[in-house]
Amino acid sequence: MPDISNTSSTKRVTMFAGKGGVGKTTCAGATALHHASSDGDTLVISTDPTPSLSHIFEMTDKAKPARVLDGLYLAELGQSEIRQMWDKKFGPEVYEVFSSFVAVDYDDFAEFVTSILPGLHDEFMVDYIKELSQTDTYRRIVWDTAPMGQTLGLLETPAMLREHLKPAPRIYSRLKLGSRSKRPVLDIIKGWEELSGEDMEFLRQGVSFVIVTIAEALAVEQLDSILEEMGRYGFRADQLVINNVIKEIGGSSFLQERADQQRGYIERLYRQYSEMKIVEVPLFSQEVKGLERLRKVAEHLFCGEEV
């Protein structure tokens, strides 16, 4: 078993995944703060369609990226960036193929494709972050993702894309494309496959996965399935964060009961994922918003680690 803390620290990109509402954005923000002070220029980037990063950092600056403090930058990617990436990566090539048998405007086509195929969203996000990580702009990139459904979609996209593309050469061999040769179509498909393959490889080699969960039945069940799914694609989570752990009871029987219930799930997580690095973050008496509270979360996430 490789030293987990070592492997994750050599990877420049850390991705936070997990069910909705468990504290991914909170942990991503806290991690970015930590890296910004210990490693240098850090970008915290959200690919959640309903992002909340700016909110927890209390940012009003809409620049992309916006400067949070020295060494820490924040960006939330949305539909317009996806559209730009579509244009850059696939747009004209794919349009060329489709427009040979469907009369449609480029804009309408791009709008349609980028809105109906959620997988494309994920593919572009991976690609965007891959390209960013290959430049020297940032020492660290902390990636806050959407809830689990999208994360799974993200992992599935390249394989899905490959599946969808398989019948394409057959279809084209049946279509009368006039003077067009079949070759360019096959080249495009090959290009797609290569891109998917590179993105998948980047996720495996260049990204450290942190899964956030809470000590509740549904969250733990969903965690099992997300890890199983990741395993099927050859991904390994580097770290598990158990958030909202009740640590201070203060004589309250209400909190005691809740904490006892959590304990059962927490013990199960330690047993089941004994090979994983597990970190607990306590439930704070207040929501986590603003730098000061994020720093507190970071203390728990990185306690006992060399800075």
Ligand X SMILES: Nc1ncnc2c1ncn2[C@@H]1O[C@H](COP(=O)(O)OP(=O)(O)O)[C@@H](O)[C@H]1O
Question: Can you give the binding site for ligand X, defined by CB under 6 A?
Answer: 20-26, 52, 243-244, 281, 283-284, 287-289
Closer residue to Mg ion, CB minimum distance, 52 or 261 = 52
Q: Give the span between the Cα atoms of 223 and 245, in whole angstroms.
A: 16
Strand positions, DSSP E, 151-256:
207-214, 237-245
The answer to whether the CB of 162 falls within 8 A of the CB of 64 is: no
CB of 209 to ligand X, least distance (A): 15
By the rule CB under 5 A, 243 interacts with Mg ion: no
Q: Which of residues 16-45 bind Mg ion (CB under 5 A)?
A: 24-25
Question: Nearest residue by C-beta to Mg ion?
Answer: 25
Taking CB within 5 to 8 Å according to partner kind, which of Mg ion, ligand X, none is near residue 47? none
CB of 46 to Mg ion, least distance (A): 7
Closer residue to Mg ion, CB minimum distance, 30 or 189 = 30
The answer to whether the CB of 53 falls within 8 A of the CB of 44 is: yes
Taking CB within 5 to 8 Å according to partner kind, which of ligand X, Mg ion, none is near residue 106? none
* Number of chain positions touching Mg ion (CB under 5 A): 2
Taking CB within 5 to 8 Å according to partner kind, which of Mg ion, ligand X, none is near residue 220? none
Q: Give the span between the Cα atoms of 285 and 69, in whole angstroms.
A: 26
Closer residue to ligand X, CB minimum distance, 224 or 248 = 248
CB of 65 to ligand X, least distance (A): 19
Q: Give the span between the Cα atoms of 54 and 61, in whole angstroms.
A: 9
Q: Closest Cα partner for 32 from 1, 5, 69, 2?
A: 69
Alpha carbon 302 to its chain's center: 20
Taking CB within 5 to 8 Å according to partner kind, which of Mg ion, ligand X, none is near residue 26? ligand X
Whether the upstream peptide bond of residue 65 has omega within 30° of 0, thus cis, is yes
Q: Give the span between the Cα atoms of 77 and 125, in whole angstroms.
A: 8
Kindly state the tokens that stand for 174: 């049946």
Closer residue to Mg ion, CB minimum distance, 46 or 157 = 46
Give residues in contact with Mg ion (CB under 5 A). Answer: 24-25
